[in-house]
Amino acid sequence: MDDLLPEDFTVFNKIIRVVKELFRLYGYNQIETPPIEYYEIFAAKSGEEILQRMYVFTDKHNRKLVLRPEMTAPVARIVASKLSRRPLPLRLGYIADCYRLDEPQWGRRRRFYHGGFELFGSKDPIADVEILMIVNDFFRNIGIAEFSFKIGHVGIHRALMNRAGIREEIQDEILSLIDRARIDEARDLAKKNAKNLAPIRTLEELILIEPAPAKNLVEKVLGMLDNYEEAAEAAMNLFQIVTLASKTINSELLIYYPGFSRGLGYYTGMIFEVYGPLAEVALAGGGRYDKLVELFGGRPVPGVGAAIGITRVYQYLVDKLGQTEVVQPPDVYVAPLSQNAWGYSLDISRKLREQGIATEIEVMARGISDVIKSCEKRGIRFLIIIGDKEVEQHQITVRDLNRREQTQCSLEELWRIADLIKGGR
């Protein structure tokens, strides 16, 4: 788990600002859930890989608890309970820290932040495409010009396994193995539990298809599914999503991976991840989960969503693209030259802040030359100097450190100084 220093937060907060602006632009209302949840919230459909990496503990009341490893399940829990009577659609957003017991390496931290968008109430492709558009806008707005969508559809895989007679819990295991690139184990488990091997052979063929731009490849896959109505319907759903998304997103960025699966067991339809060319880990991901709210005792409510990996995007911007942000200095620095000037200086600082001017005050009793050097080093342009003379005469001395100019005014003219400082930002 990492410490974040002031210079780290300049980039980190830039990412959060972009996420929050997308909340506003797309109409997503921000929520928060506790970082500690009941184990059962994640036990059913989080997938084997996440279950093995959760921080699990028992409290003094003998309740089995976890530090949340992801956010979609807690949000679905809220929709099933506290928001169950709200009119649909529901657009919910979050910025949250999550925890997984990963081996620390680039792109994997034991504590990491997600910025999420969850849309409840619609099964139609237009909802899936809204989520893809949000993620596309995020990467464009944050300054990552090169990226692509890795797209798949769990519904196709599940339909073929349904046709083969494989139980849902075994399907979850198979999809988890595929997600971890353990293809041979997935195939063996499928064949062991299948009552009809023909659909499994088709699934195996799908997994081996090389990825390609989505629109053309989905049409090819549709032709392989003539004998499997449910799987063909899922493929047609993906075709509709890709066709609609191509009207607002560059179609060359939408790459279909027929064998793609995600480790979370609650996905039912389209799934995706976003990759940049300079890293092998996903920077964002999401998909459709039409049965998750019902799993928590709610009414059947379809859902689709995405999580931006804020921590990974931060690392990508800084480590791979070399982006840095300077810690923003205050607009003005107030330097009292004696203890007698402290009260007057504090009052001036308060008045400036009331006008929206970021103001720091000298608290170390340094000499004026040292204060000036410090301000110049930090990039602070305006310095207000308060000595005994200024206190007695109710005046203010303002020095513009860029222009090497100094002016005086009365306390009543503070508004003029405020305008000067605002103009020099």
pLDDT score of 146: 96
Model confidence over 71-126: pLDDT tens digits?
999 999 999 999 999 999 999 999 999 999 988 788 788 999 999 999 999 999 99
pLDDT score of 349: 95
pLDDT score of 263: 67
Burial classification of residue 89, based on how many CB atoms lie within 10 Å of its CB (0-12 exposed, 13-18 middle, 19 or more buried): middle
pLDDT score of 15: 97
Checking phi first, is residue 394 left (phi over 0); if not, alpha (psi -120 to 50) or beta?
A: left
Alpha-carbon gap, residue 303 to 72, rounded angstroms:
10
Q: What CATH superfamily classification does 332-423 receive?
A: Anticodon-binding domain (3.40.50.800)
Architecture of domain 6-320: 2-Layer Sandwich (3.30)
pLDDT score of 172: 85
pLDDT tens digit at each of 425 positions of the chain:
678 888 888 999 999 999 999 999 999 999 999 999 999 999 877 767 788 889 999 999 999 999 999 999 999 999 999 999 999 999 999 999 999 998 878 878 899 999 999 999 999 999 999 999 999 999 999 999 999 999 999 999 999 999 999 998 898 888 888 888 888 898 899 999 989 899 999 999 998 899 999 988 998 899 899 889 999 999 999 999 999 999 999 999 999 999 898 867 789 999 999 999 999 899 999 999 999 999 999 999 999 999 999 999 999 999 999 888 778 899 999 999 999 999 999 999 999 999 999 999 999 999 999 999 999 999 999 999 999 999 999 999 999 999 999 989 888 888 887 888 877 66
Alpha-carbon gap, residue 313 to 143, rounded angstroms:
10
Alpha-carbon gap, residue 66 to 90, rounded angstroms:
27
The answer to whether the CB of 98 falls within 8 A of the CB of 69 is: yes
137-140: long-range pairs with CB below 8 Å, 24+: 137/22, 137/25, 138/18, 138/19, 138/22, 138/284, 138/308, 139/274, 139/283, 139/284
Would you give the end-to-end CA distance of the chain in angstroms? 36
In 3D space, the residue among 384, 158, 342 whose CA is nearest the CA of residue 266 turns out to be 158
pLDDT score of 69: 95
pLDDT score of 236: 96
Q: Count Cα atoms within 13 angstroms, Cβ side, for 210.
A: 1
pLDDT score of 181: 81
pLDDT score of 189: 92
Alpha-carbon gap, residue 234 to 238, rounded angstroms:
6
CATH 3.40.50.800 in the chain: give the residue spans: 332-423
In 3D space, the residue among 71, 49, 128 whose CA is nearest the CA of residue 309 turns out to be 71
Q: How many CB atoms lie within 10 A of CB 192?
A: 9
The answer to whether the CB of 204 falls within 8 A of the CB of 189 is: no
CATH 3.30.930.10 in the chain: give the residue spans: 6-320
Model confidence over 258-308: pLDDT tens digits?
989 886 778 999 999 999 999 989 999 999 999 999 999 999 999 999 999
